[in-house]
């Protein structure tokens, strides 16, 4: 069964009481502030729903960003100078000072998060988790002529997995570093290419597009929106004269532009496309799109030549065989982003909503308690006002007031008890209840306030 509340709900104060108690103007201010707060809460609730709907889309989750710190170095083993040192220490002679002289090139990386307070398990984020491909090209020289036509001079690794936003790099690790080991005693130059993974829809744009939008990488939607805003700002829409009788077009801020060739106004004669999105390109858009007129349904095709695949990071390095290790000689920081973990993001969203609803429930209970106290205080104030009126009328004419009061109480008791020949339906429709509605309401409020019902 639903819970029944016996708390008075009528919290209005008669105007006669306002005239007697000046401080009650603060209550009016309180009710006005409550009305404004209710409107604000309703508006924020709609905003909260809109944000919830927006964050359902995976692309709306903000991914974690950081730096991929790449270390490139080499180590040497059994080099002639190393063997000489060993001979001096061990008093042993080597038969061939160049035998088994090797060097090892190592490329390794470590992720460093931008947000130090964010809980990211970087222990399982391996170097290969951030790469789509890596290649090492050993450049032949006079000391290594055999590398020129040998497939051994190119070392490649590619990630064949799909670029899925819900991939967890912690479960698809391969290595922390790439090692390339070869025989040799001479220095050797190499070229290292790192293709970093991208978990967004951003692409590299041409120099012309980058100058127009102010970014070197962006999504196709961003480019189209920027061009749309540019067209609106410069009023480049071309409206056919056949539409000018339409009030929506007549009152629009888009100004019709006549074609310089003289055929823009005649829809039938000039063959103008009856499309309100027809745009006349100015010099800036013409240099960008290479057309003088276009519609926005063709814009997607026109901007495609300006997109480029992301370029790899190229590192030039020389393998030094004169040192046992070159660790710390070459360090590169590459900005990277982590894939969005939808399950974790949704869990965080649920926790946020739960905390918000818990806070709302706590505050609602506190407000309900204050409302209850306020209602009882108003009932007590109205009762005090009734007593004041009662004693004031009694002091003016004690005999007449008592007689009138006894008569009204007798009528009230008869109506409530439905005795002495009163028919219940007749009593319920009696004119008495219409004439004394305020009096009956006050008596019922007294009974509610006293807990007699």
According to CATH, the topology of domain 63-198+310-339 is: Immunoglobulin-like (2.60.40)
Q: Are 236 and 292 in contact (CB under 8 A)?
A: no
Domain range annotation of the chain: 15-50+347-450, 63-198+310-339, 203-308
Q: What architecture (CATH level 2) is domain 203-308?
A: Orthogonal Bundle (1.10)
d(CA 410, CA 407): 5
pLDDT digits (tens, 9 = 90+) for 122-155: 566 788 888 889 999 999 889 888 888 788 889 9
> CB under 8 Å, gap of 24 or more: what pairs does 381-390 form?
381/13, 381/17, 381/21, 382/13, 382/14, 382/17, 382/442, 382/445, 383/442, 383/445, 383/446, 383/449, 385/14, 385/16, 385/17, 385/20, 386/442
CATH topology match: 63-198+310-339 vs 203-308 = no
Q: pLDDT tens digits for the chain (453 residues)?
A: 444 445 555 667 777 787 777 777 788 888 888 888 888 888 877 777 766 665 555 555 566 788 899 999 999 988 888 877 777 666 544 445 555 789 999 999 998 887 766 655 556 678 888 888 999 999 988 988 888 878 888 999 988 764 443 444 444 547 889 999 998 899 999 999 999 887 777 888 999 999 999 988 888 888 999 999 999 898 888 765 544 444 444 444 444 444 443 443 344 334 444 455 688 889 999 999 999 998 888 888 999 999 988 888 999 999 999 988 998 889 999 988 776 654 555 566 667 777 777 776 777 777 778 878 888 888 888 888 888 888 888 888 888 888 887 888 777 776 666 555 556 666 677 777 778 888 888 778 777 766 655
Q: Taking the model in full, what pTM does it have?
A: 0.50
Query: At which residue do the structure tokens 């013409």 appear?
Result: 286
């Amino acid at each position: 069964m639903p819970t029944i509340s016996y708390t008075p709900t009528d919290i209005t104060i008669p105007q006669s009481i306002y005239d007697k108690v000046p401080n009650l103007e603060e209550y009016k201010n309180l009710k006005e502030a409550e009305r404004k707060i209710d409107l604000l809460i309703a508006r924020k609730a709609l905003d909260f729903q809109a944000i919830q709907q927006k964050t359902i889309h995976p692309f709306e989750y903000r991914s974690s960003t950081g730096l991929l710190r790449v270390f490139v170095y080499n180590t040497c083993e059994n080099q002639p100078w190393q063997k000489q040192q060993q001979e001096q220490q061990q008093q042993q002679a080597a038969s061939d000072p160049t035998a088994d002289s090797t060097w090892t090139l190592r490329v390794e990386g470590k992720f460093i998060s931008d947000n130090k307070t964010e809980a990211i398990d970087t222990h399982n984020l391996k170097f290969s988790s951030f790469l789509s491909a890596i290649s090492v090209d050993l450049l032949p020289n006079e000391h290594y002529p055999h590398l020129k036509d040998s497939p051994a001079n190119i070392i490649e690794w590619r990630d064949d997995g799909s670029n899925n936003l819900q991939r967890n790099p912690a479960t698809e690790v391969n290595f922390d570093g790439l090692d390339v080991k070869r025989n040799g005693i001479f220095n050797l130059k190499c070229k290292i290419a790192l293709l970093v993974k991208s978990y967004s829809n951003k692409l590299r744009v041409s120099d012309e597009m980058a100058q127009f939008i102010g970014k070197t990488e962006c999504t196709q939607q961003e480019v189209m929106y920027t061009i749309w805003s540019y067209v609106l700002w410069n009023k480049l829409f071309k409206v056919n004269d056949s539409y000018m009788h339409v009030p929506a077009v007549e009152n629009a801020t888009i100004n019709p532009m006549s074609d310089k060739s003289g055929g823009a106004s005649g829809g039938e004669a000039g063959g103008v496309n009856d499309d309100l999105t027809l745009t006349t390109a100015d010099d800036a858009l013409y240099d960008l799109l290479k057309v003088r007129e276009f519609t926005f349904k063709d814009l997607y095709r026109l901007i495609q030549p300006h997109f480029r695949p992301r370029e790899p990071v190229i590192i030039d390095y020389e393998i030094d065989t004169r040192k046992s290790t070159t660790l710390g000689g070459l360090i590169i920081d590459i900005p990277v982003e982590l894939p969005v973990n939808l399950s974790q993001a949704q869990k965080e969203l649920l926790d946020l909503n739960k905390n918000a609803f818990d806070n709302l429930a706590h505050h609602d209970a506190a407000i309900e308690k204050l409302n209850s106290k306020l209602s009882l205080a108003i009932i007590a104030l109205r009762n005090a006002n009734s007593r004041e009126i009662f004693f004031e009328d009694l002091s003016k004419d004690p005999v007449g007031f008592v007689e009138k009061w006894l008569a009204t109480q007798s009528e009230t008791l008869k109506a409530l008890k439905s005795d002495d020949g009163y028919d219940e339906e007749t009593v319920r429709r009696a004119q008495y209840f219409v004439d004394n509605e305020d009096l009956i309401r006050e008596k019922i409020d007294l009974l509610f306030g006293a807990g007699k019902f």
